Amino acid sequence: MGENNIQINKTKKAIKSTIFYMFIVFVAFAFIIPLIYLTTTSFSSLIEVSDYPRQMFPSFSHNVEFSYDETYERYVLARENNKGEYVILNFGDEKNLSKYLEKNFNVFLEEDELLEIMLPAKETGEPIKVKLYKNIIANYIKFFETFDGVGEAFVNSVRAAIYTIILSLGIGGGLGYALAKTDIKGKQAIGVGALIVRMFPTIAISVSAAVMLIKFGMFDSMYGLAVIYAIPNIGLTAWITKGIFMNVNKELEEASLVFGATKIKTFYKITFPLVLPAFAASSMYAFITAWNDTAVALLLTTNNKTLSLVLYEAIGGVNSIHYAAAGSILLILPAAFFTFYLRKYINQLWG
Amino acid sequence: MDNIKFNNSPKIKAKILKVIKSPYILVVPAFLFYLIFWAYPVLTAIYEVFTKVSTEGGGFTLNNIVALVNEVHFSEALVNSLVFAIVSIILQFILALLLALLINRKFKGSNLFLFFMMLPMAIPIASVGIIWNTGLTEFGWINSLLEVTGLQNILELVGLADGPIIWTTVSGMKAVMFLILVDTWTVLPSVMIIILAGLQNLNKEYQEVAMVFGATKRQTITDIVIPIIKPTIITALLLRIISGIQIWLLSVMIFGFNKVPFLVERIVYYTKFYYSDESADKLAFTYSVLVIIIVMTMAVLFLQANKKSERSMNNG
């Protein structure tokens, strides 16, 4: 009896944990499917983007068939689609086809290389099947070539982020220290103020900020953007650093002072290392604010675009969505890196 | 030289030191920054709302507010924004709490799972827009997925679809609901992780004590777990609802301007599409101030509700 019960319990447990894992896998999959498709699109050629149904995982090559058309004296190109059928796509000489392959297949072949592949079809009269390998990062290169000023936009995004970090840490860090370690008056008012600006909808002052920035000569510049991005982040930095400064062990600092260290030395050797994580977290928040924003940049710049603004404008493009997908991946990478790094601090931040 | 000078006039030195050493010196930069770059534009926006356009002499007027209410998409934009903010926060909170309670334990591969879950929250909205824009076309990846998994057949069988669905033509409330789903995909992980962080800080003993005293699992969750992690949740929800009110980019990147109007979408529309048209600027300003009022009201209400419930909890 007892043994039977144990057996049943074991089976129950196994079933439970199997269901649990199935659920976990399902949830994880549901969350990453859109990203898988984006990644695949960023490696796809134009012809693959127009396939239906789309392939879920990226391919590295195309299966094609070349044949020779005697009557018109030209080569015929057919591609194996995702149903396994060869579909005729184009015809012409090696010059036309080389260009066509580059644009639609992401296959880069010189005319003579291509001719070498196709020539047997003409000589034997038999169609030949070959596997043409794609240039896998073609879309990433094309992204820079197709859209105007992507390189500058990339630099602009980095600059706006750095200025935002400097402003947030410089002003917010000082405020946080003052709130935690000194006996200034009106701490409560400052605290409420920091909360208000933290939640303030910056997009809603962007229209009047544009007028103001024009007056200051900061419109259409990264300084102007950084100033607006800093509005919530100074408050946030003050809030984060205040908490950490308050937790810095007073006794440790006092001990250091007792042992003859100067105040400045105590700050550098004791306080600073302890508060470093808070500053790291604050600067990552500042970075993410600046890097991820499109709305404010749209209203406050005209020629000096940021990377995310370029992507926003890329969306209407005909036959360039796979380049835009590559650009999206480039935009995601730094943001993802910082977000994951930030995860370590989330406990401290929200707890 | 400077040192000698200071030594000769200790009074000045003391004064300068006093100013430099005053803790207020740390507050001044922040104060000045917010005065110039925050208070000034806020006041300008409010001023613009209550004044006439320059061709009419610029005096006080309430006409801008009338113009706002009469704007073609005003009521739709207002309703859409509120529905979006409220429904998405409820949906996200419930889902995030359920998920967090479910996975609040170490299991094999829990770190990997969290990594996958966190991916969407790291994605800038412009990229989110591109992801869904490529998905929603007639032959995009969403329909491909339906086709490959066989769901398309089921949809056609029950009569919900007739051939590939053309998602981008969805309009009205349906489109808003669709955007809520997209938004949930993006931010659910962040809400969940905040709740998870709160749960992991939670002292396990409280729960055990409650169980010992005969509380059911559900009672433990509603009476012990939720009240303790509440401050964390409140902050997270507050920030979510505020960013929910400001949705526009997703709508524009998926559906385009004027299709599924939102308050902030109107601001951008009137600023970007009407160059040096003062009455369009006035509309943009009026929309801006409306957004500020809504966001700030929500923030105050939320915080006050939080305070009140805290007080009643302490008294009870």
Q: What is the pLDDT of residue B164?
A: 85
Q: Which residues contact A23 (CB under 8 A, 6 or more apart)?
A: B102
Strand (E) positions, chain A?
A: 61-69, 74-80, 86-92, 128-133
Q: What is the pLDDT of residue A207?
A: 92
Asked if A309 reaches chain B (Cβ–Cβ under 8 Å), the answer is yes
Q: What percent of chain A has pLDDT over 90?
A: 55
Closest chain A residue by Cα to residue B200:
A347
Would you list the DSSP string of A134-169?
P-TTHHHHHHHHHSTTHHHHHHHHHHHHHHHHHHII
Shortest Cα distance, chain A CAs vs residue B210, angstroms: 22
CB contact under 8 A, A346 and B236: no
Name the token pair of A201. 């909808």
Q: Which CA distances in Å does A221 have to A153, A227, A304, B270? A: 12, 10, 7, 22
Closest chain B residue by Cα to residue A169:
B30
A106-138: pLDDT as tens digits: 999 999 999 999 999 989 989 999 999 999 999
Closest chain A residue by Cα to residue B140:
A54
Q: Which residues contact B171 (CB under 8 A, 6 or more apart)?
A: B255, B259, B260
**Rg, C-alpha atoms of chain B:** 27
Per CATH, the homologous superfamily of domain A144-350 is MetI-like (1.10.3720.10)
Asked if A199 reaches chain B (Cβ–Cβ under 8 Å), the answer is yes
Closest-CA residue to B126 (of A293, A160, A43):
A293
Q: What is the pLDDT of residue A346?
A: 52
Asked if B200 reaches chain A (Cβ–Cβ under 8 Å), the answer is yes
A306-345: pLDDT as tens digits: 999 999 988 877 788 899 999 999 999 998 888 777 766 6
CB contact under 8 A, B122 and A336: yes
CB contact under 8 A, B249 and A234: no
CB contact under 8 A, A298 and B268: yes
Asked if B203 reaches chain A (Cβ–Cβ under 8 Å), the answer is no
pLDDT at A26 over 80: yes
Opening angle at CA B237, ends A203 and A340, nearest 5: 80
Task: Label residues A180-207 b or e (16+ Cβ within 10 Å = b).
Answer: bbeeeeeeeebeebbbbbbbbbbbbbbb
Total beta-carbon pairs less than 8 A apart between chain A and chain B: 255
H helix runs in chain B, sequence order? 2-8, 10-21, 28-34, 40-49, 63-70, 74-103, 110-118, 125-136, 141-149, 151-157, 172-201, 204-212, 217-219, 226-245, 249-254, 263-272, 278-315
Nearest-angstrom CA–CA distance, A36 and A350: 31
State the average pLDDT for chain A: 89
pLDDT at A75 over 80: yes
Nearest-angstrom CA–CA distance, B186 and B124: 10
Shortest Cα distance, chain B CAs vs residue A104, angstroms: 18
CB contact under 8 A, B129 and A312: yes
Q: What is the pLDDT of residue B316?
A: 42
Q: What is the pLDDT of residue A343?
A: 66
Name the token pair of B219. 């009672």
Shortest Cα distance, chain A CAs vs residue B181, angstroms: 12
What ipTM describes this predicted complex? 0.87
CB contact under 8 A, B124 and A335: yes
* DSSP assigned state of A79: E
Nearest-angstrom CA–CA distance, A346 and A348: 5
Asked if B202 reaches chain A (Cβ–Cβ under 8 Å), the answer is no
* DSSP assigned state of B60: B
> Which B-chain residues 103-122 have CB contacts (< 8 A) with chain A?
103, 107, 109, 113, 115-122
Q: How far is CA A1 from the centre of its chain?
A: 59
Nearest-angstrom CA–CA distance, B266 and A206: 13
Asked if B91 reaches chain A (Cβ–Cβ under 8 Å), the answer is no
Closest-CA residue to A67 (of A92, A45, A46, A47):
A92
Segments making up each domain of chain A, as ranges: 1-42, 59-135, 144-350
Count how many residues are written for chain B: 316
**CA pseudo-torsion sign A181, A187, A188, A190:** negative
Q: What is the pLDDT of residue A350?
A: 38
Contacts of B228 in chain A (CB under 8 A): none
| pLDDT, one tens digit for every residue, chain B (316 residues) | 445 555 557 788 888 887 777 888 899 999 999 999 999 999 999 999 999 988 888 789 999 999 999 999 999 999 999 999 999 999 999 999 888 888 777 778 877 887 788 888 889 999 999 999 888 888 889 999 998 888 888 988 888 878 888 888 888 999 999 999 999 999 888 888 878 877 777 767 777 787 788 888 788 777 877 777 777 778 778 888 888 999 999 999 999 999 999 999 999 999 988 877 889 999 999 999 999 999 999 888 887 877 776 666 555 4
Closest-CA residue to A117 (of A104, A105, A133):
A133
CB atoms within 10 A of CB B181: 12
A246 neighbors A256 (Cβ within 8 angstroms) = no
Q: What is the mean pLDDT of residues A17-42?
A: 90
Sheet with A86-92: strands ordered across = A86-92, A74-80, A61-69, A128-133
Q: What is the mean pLDDT of residues A260-288?
A: 84
Place of tokens 């020539």: A119
Task: Label residues B115-125 b or e (16+ Cβ within 10 Å = b).
Answer: ebbbbbbbbbb
Q: What is the pLDDT of residue A267?
A: 78
Contacts of B23 in chain A (CB under 8 A): 178, 182-184
Closest-CA residue to A231 (of A275, A178, A290, A272):
A290
Residue type, A63: N
Asked if A350 reaches chain B (Cβ–Cβ under 8 Å), the answer is yes
CB contact under 8 A, B23 and A184: yes
CB contact under 8 A, B288 and A204: yes
Strands A86-92 and A128-133: unpaired
Q: What is the pLDDT of residue B56?
A: 83
Shortest Cα distance, chain A CAs vs residue B109, angstroms: 10
Q: What is the pLDDT of residue B86?
A: 94
